[in-house]
Chain A
Amino acid sequence: MTPAMFNNDTTMTAAEIKEELLKKYPPKVARKRAKQIMINEALENETPEITANVRTIPGIITMRGCTYAGCKGVIMGPTRDIVNITHGPIGCGFYSWLTRRNQTDAYAPDAANYMTYCFSTDMQDKDIIFGGEKKLEAAIQEAYDLFHPKGICVFATCPVGLIGDDIHAVAAKMKAKFGDCNVFAFSCEGYKGVSQSAGHHIANNQVFKHLVGLDDQGKPGKYRINLLGEYNIGGDGFEIDRILNKCGVTNIATFSGNSTYDQFASSHTADLNAVMCHRSINYVADMLETKYGIPWVKVNFIGANAAAKSLRKIASYFGDQELIDRVEEVIAEEMPAVRAVAEEVRPRTEGKTAMLFVGGSRAHHYQELFKELGMKTISAGYEFAHRDDYEGRQVIPELKVDADSRNIEELEVSPDERLFRPRKSQEELRALESSGLKFKDYDGLIPDMERGAVVIDDLNQYEAEKLVELLKPDIFCAGIKEKFSIQKLGVPMKQLHSYDSGGPYAGFRGAINFYREIDRLVNSRVWGYLKAPWQENPELSATYVWE
């Protein structure tokens, strides 16, 4: 382990850094955190594996959110034509109102788009005491009467689970009553699970149960895919759609950026699933394969090289020379502009260091972009990932189901009698695999990080501050809650959940945007103004004599 790993003049080893991070904790906390901090590929690790997806320690200022946030905010939020009603006191609905920068394009002026609206039952104390089902029923009715949407979704907040409102029964009753509006609910109370991840799971399960497979009329097209785990933050989904269109690939459904009710309903007609965010949705890909026969591959459209690689992966799956050639043409067309900006920016970014603590998946994907800028990621980790996101899918069978995961429903899926259709024969799949195309495969973050890098699960504010002080990265990436405490330390901070401002950062044009944004951040003159002249040179060596 060489200290040079971290540069920026630090002489500390990764083991010393880990020790420093843990020093201040009470012993029990330190023991727990030690298992969540891993020195990549190093023997200093006390456990051979990283501990992830475990409870947050009370009182330790965490970056995590809750199950409701993962369910309503992340997964269902970017779907424009479903009326999402938060059943609970007003706060949860309010805070998840347009705060994730999901963009949507509702095409026609009269097309349904409810994303600018926040719907809540705004429960009062009498609803908590006497139960909120009647109010929920009335609220669904009022939403239906006002808007006549295709779908209404209901989200449970903490007190709803405690008082035992049967939101699923209310939803089923209203669905039957309306006939032309699909109503279903999510038991996504904030206290379930240990992070947003549980909410993704709950949301995906319900979409799979209540929506996928309802409409057999998918979009026409020769090469038809679904894009899973892409949320169209800052317009990422628009850029990926542009590239796919240009290649002649049809995107049936994005789960769930710029998405619609009909996209989900017809997603089972696609011939391939391309998974972006492994964490939030890998199990949906598995279920779509088992039930409908659609294989899946892991892709990554963050980074120009990664996007090119993913396009080639999709083309090789379909195997048509026409598509393979077209993809190469598109890459050849797009890359010169990307390279030009990279070359322009690189002298100013080369050799700089980054830290990424964000996602499920983003802390992995964005390392590609930093690599393209000649920047090194010296420490990274996820906010709500599981061990497979760090170590790869081979660990899934050995993951222990603890009490906090047990209450998240696992769907039993079997081939659909009517709709199951293998997209490729076993022979074809084997041939593709032997040519190097890996299905259902994800190696995780760890193999892509440098030896000796510090991988930290569920990083908290105290550790973030310590890491920045010790290793002085040139840029730190996390979420809004972390932004200003990092910047106070004089280090630029880029949000990678919702990007602060700007985007898209996916695809080729996104790469250009990102190069420029990182150049702006790490080279901003403002970081040179932290000290006033009299603070830099406090000693008075001489005094002016005023004339």
Chain B
Amino acid sequence: MLLRHTPDNLVERGALTINPAKTCQPIGAMYAALGVHGCLPHSHGSQGCCAYHRSTLTRHYKEPISAGTSSFTEGASVFGGQANLLQAIDNIFTVYEPEVIAVHTTCLSETIGDDLPQILDKADKDGKIPKGKHVIYANTPSYVGSHVTGFSNMVKGMARVAVSTGHKNGKVNIIPGWVEPADMEEIKRLAAMVGVDIIMFPDTSGVLNGPLSGEYKMFPEGGVTIKQLREAGDSIGTLALGEWCSADGARFLDTTLKVPCRVLDMPFGLRATDRFVDALRIVAGRSVPEEVAHERGQLVDMISDMHQYFYHKKVALAGDPDQLIAMTEFLTSIDMWPTHIVSGTPGKAFEARIRELTAGLPYAVNVKCDQTADMFLLHQWIKNDPVDLLMGNTYLKHIARDEDIPLVRWGFPILDRVGHQYFPTVGYKGGLRLLEKILSALLDRKDRDDQEHAFELVL
């Protein structure tokens, strides 16, 4: 047993987190920043944070992740990190020549109280930011929220670039939230199908799913440009996908530049995708073409064809709130039973939303989203009430093996499988893929477990 010390009996813990279902803010800020064209993320703190974040993102995407660090030693921790950051900005623009540097803080620089706007202002006045180049920033103390919060904060940092000329440009902003590069591509494809001209930020497609060609580009073609981010202030509206990841940036544009926003669920599964497409249509005043309805129908078709294999199957999930909400809705909508759900990312609305989505089920879902909502707790719940399927990141594989439960890898980070960079799980096409993954896991299991006399060729 890999998790041989996890007992069945639940004990209340107040201080010790075991096998967390979250990580810290800066990695989210780093991921978001990679979705800006020509941007080098920069971690303002000691260099270990940056090394860890780059390593984890590299392992997840199997792509180079470049980022700078202020490399604090004890001196900077005592006297403040201004000198380090000024030097870093100078070195970065000289050596790597990015268009943009996206600075985020760490728990170290936050605790000593480094004032990013002040330091960046000084960098500008000292001429360390070359003409035509940009520095954006986000405050991302690791002791608040989670990686999701960090992502959201950097998205807000991008929204701060927007300006309003007073003339609407007819475009729609889409903030896709923490989804994969392939998902961002899929969202762009859907919007193009509906005929909506969009500005999407961040956009990691083309950045973190690049080709192997014998050439290394530190700054690939993809990513939202600073010009586009500026124009986002003239858009007719913003669709923010995911309350936790995207709403802050959208509301900022709404309150400061009067770009109205709608906060939607992430388009995982049938119903959330329906609402997304519908919102796109309405905000841009377009009609939805037949191709989109066709794709939708294919998903409905697969749900009906294979319903017998997932009907009332119990699922345990761990991950981030925006994804979990949409996934819970998808699972219940196809008559699966989400049973245990944990997210380390705090937010009171999460539990309420899950309760609302699962209200029609004949049992009360186990759901928790605070500091002690970790994978240790999830495992204990599973021991007490076993499930048919696990969904979440790679760190669930120990539970999967110990309890002999099939695992569908989905979320962040996935360190031991590939595909998430290239194949979307959002939209109707993504729904088909999700369903295929779920079915393959359940049916592989059935093929393994069925007795010989009941082993069937046709399923």
Task: Answer yes or no: are A and B bound together in one complex.
Answer: yes
Is the C-beta of A64 less than 8 angstroms from some C-beta in chain B?
yes
**Are A163 and B4 in contact, CB atoms less than 8 angstroms apart?**
no
Interface residues of B in 8-29 (CB under 8 A from A): 11, 13-20, 22-27
- Residues on A with C-beta less than 8 A from B92 are 59
Size class of the contact patch on chain B: 35 or more
- Identify the closest chain B residue to A29 (Cβ): B91
- Identify the closest chain B residue to A462 (Cβ): B95
Is the C-beta of B73 less than 8 angstroms from some C-beta in chain A?
yes
A480 to chain B, nearest CB (A): 5
- Residues on A with C-beta less than 8 A from B94 are 24-26
**Are A59 and B70 in contact, CB atoms less than 8 angstroms apart?**
yes
**Are B20 and A69 in contact, CB atoms less than 8 angstroms apart?**
no
Given A142-B13, A146-B5, A404-B73; A124-B371 close (CB under 8 Å):
yes
Is the C-beta of A411 less than 8 angstroms from some C-beta in chain B?
no
Stretch at the interface among A7-15, A109-117, A250-258, A318-326: A109-117
Given A89-B107, A113-B4; A66-B46 close (CB under 8 Å):
yes
- Residues on B with C-beta less than 8 A from A483 are 58, 64
Interface residues of A in 219-241 (CB under 8 A from B): none
Stretch at the interface among A187-195, A261-269, A272-280, A285-293: A187-195
Is the C-beta of B106 less than 8 angstroms from some C-beta in chain A?
yes
**Are B52 and A95 in contact, CB atoms less than 8 angstroms apart?**
yes
**Scoring A residues 122 to 154 as 1 if CB is less than 8 Å from chain B, else 0, what string do you get?**
111101100000011111011101110000000
Stretch at the interface among B81-89, B313-321, B439-447: B81-89
B100 to chain A, nearest CB (A): 14
**Are B111 and A159 in contact, CB atoms less than 8 angstroms apart?**
yes
Size class of the contact patch on chain A: 35 or more
**Are B71 and A117 in contact, CB atoms less than 8 angstroms apart?**
no
Is the C-beta of A162 less than 8 angstroms from some C-beta in chain B?
yes
Contact of A489 among B25, B111, B216 (CB under 8 A): B216
A485 to B5, CA, bound (A): 40
**Scoring B residues 214 to 233 as 1 if CB is less than 8 Å from chain A, else 0, what string do you get?**
11111000000000000000
**Are A146 and B108 in contact, CB atoms less than 8 angstroms apart?**
no
**Are A121 and B16 in contact, CB atoms less than 8 angstroms apart?**
yes
**Scoring A residues 450 to 491 as 1 if CB is less than 8 Å from chain B, else 0, what string do you get?**
000000000001100100000000000001110111111110
A483 to B107, CA, bound (A): 28
Given A69-B48, A158-B107, A162-B112; A480-B216 close (CB under 8 Å):
no
**Are A480 and B22 in contact, CB atoms less than 8 angstroms apart?**
no
**Are A59 and B68 in contact, CB atoms less than 8 angstroms apart?**
yes
A406 to chain B, nearest CB (A): 9
Given A91-B24, A158-B46, A481-B54; A128-B111 close (CB under 8 Å):
yes
Stretch at the interface among A50-58, A420-428, A503-511: A50-58
Is the C-beta of A94 less than 8 angstroms from some C-beta in chain B?
yes
**Are B11 and A146 in contact, CB atoms less than 8 angstroms apart?**
yes
**Are A480 and B5 in contact, CB atoms less than 8 angstroms apart?**
no
- Identify the closest chain B residue to A114 (Cβ): B5
A139 to B371, CA, bound (A): 13
Given A59-B70, A194-B73; A162-B111 close (CB under 8 Å):
yes
**Are A119 and B17 in contact, CB atoms less than 8 angstroms apart?**
yes
A138 to B19, CA, bound (A): 17
A404 to B46, CA, bound (A): 13
Interface residues of B in 33-55 (CB under 8 A from A): 42, 45-49, 51-55
**Are B68 and A91 in contact, CB atoms less than 8 angstroms apart?**
no
Given A59-B88, A193-B73; A118-B96 close (CB under 8 Å):
no
- Residues on B with C-beta less than 8 A from A99 are 55-56, 59
A384 to B317, CA, bound (A): 40
Stretch at the interface among B136-144, B170-178, B245-253, B359-367: B136-144
**Are A530 and B213 in contact, CB atoms less than 8 angstroms apart?**
yes
- Residues on B with C-beta less than 8 A from A64 are 47, 51
- Identify the closest chain A residue to B215 (Cβ): A488
- Residues on B with C-beta less than 8 A from A530 are 212-214
A57 to B398, CA, bound (A): 39
- Residues on A with C-beta less than 8 A from B107 are 88-89, 91, 128, 157-159
**Are A58 and B70 in contact, CB atoms less than 8 angstroms apart?**
yes
- Residues on B with C-beta less than 8 A from A191 are 45-46, 72-74, 76-77, 108
B83 to chain A, nearest CB (A): 8
- Residues on B with C-beta less than 8 A from A146 are 5, 7, 11, 16
**Are A110 and B4 in contact, CB atoms less than 8 angstroms apart?**
yes
- Residues on B with C-beta less than 8 A from A490 are 212, 214
**Are B51 and A24 in contact, CB atoms less than 8 angstroms apart?**
no
Contact of B3 among A88, A92, A117, A531 (CB under 8 A): A117
Interface residues of A in 160-189 (CB under 8 A from B): 161-163, 189
- Residues on A with C-beta less than 8 A from B87 are 57-59
- Residues on A with C-beta less than 8 A from B55 are 95, 99, 479-481
A141 to B309, CA, bound (A): 45
**Are B47 and A56 in contact, CB atoms less than 8 angstroms apart?**
yes
- Identify the closest chain B residue to A530 (Cβ): B214
A533 to chain B, nearest CB (A): 14
- Residues on B with C-beta less than 8 A from A488 are 64, 210, 212-217
Is the C-beta of B423 less than 8 angstroms from some C-beta in chain A?
no
A251 to B112, CA, bound (A): 46
- Residues on B with C-beta less than 8 A from A92 are 24, 48, 52
Is the C-beta of B67 less than 8 angstroms from some C-beta in chain A?
yes
Contact of B143 among A125, A137, A404, A485 (CB under 8 A): A125
- Residues on A with C-beta less than 8 A from B46 are 66, 158, 189-191
Q: Which of A68, A124, A488, A530 has the most CB of B within 10 A?
A: A488
A88 to B71, CA, bound (A): 19
- Residues on A with C-beta less than 8 A from B65 are 481
A88 to B110, CA, bound (A): 14
Is the C-beta of B2 less than 8 angstroms from some C-beta in chain A?
yes
A85 to B18, CA, bound (A): 9
- Residues on B with C-beta less than 8 A from A481 are 51, 54-55, 58, 65
**Are B19 and A118 in contact, CB atoms less than 8 angstroms apart?**
yes
**Are A120 and B20 in contact, CB atoms less than 8 angstroms apart?**
yes
Is the C-beta of B62 less than 8 angstroms from some C-beta in chain A?
yes
Is the C-beta of A283 less than 8 angstroms from some C-beta in chain B?
no
Ordered nearest first, which 9 A-B pairs have the shortest CB separation?
A: A66-B48, A91-B24, A59-B88, A59-B91, A138-B15, A89-B142, A95-B52, A485-B64, A158-B108
Provide a sorted-by-A list of 28 A–B residue pairs whose CB atoms are within 8 angstroms: A55-B73, A56-B47, A58-B91, A59-B92, A62-B47, A64-B51, A66-B49, A69-B48, A92-B48, A95-B52, A95-B55, A99-B56, A117-B19, A119-B16, A119-B17, A120-B16, A120-B20, A127-B143, A138-B15, A138-B16, A146-B7, A147-B5, A403-B73, A462-B96, A480-B58, A488-B215, A488-B216, A489-B214
Besides A92-B24, A147-B5, 8 more A-B contacts (Cβ < 8 Å) are A25-B91, A26-B94, A58-B87, A60-B68, A65-B48, A109-B1, A121-B16, A158-B111
Chain B residues near A (Cβ < 8 Å): 1-5, 7, 11, 13-20, 22-27, 42, 45-49, 51-56, 58-59, 62-77, 84-85, 87-92, 94-96, 106-108, 110-112, 141-144, 146, 210, 212-218, 344, 371, 376, 395, 398
Chain A residues near B (Cβ < 8 Å): 24-26, 29, 55-69, 85, 88-97, 99, 109-110, 112-114, 116-125, 127-128, 135-139, 141-143, 145-147, 157-159, 161-163, 189-194, 403-404, 407, 461-462, 465, 479-481, 483-490, 526, 530-531
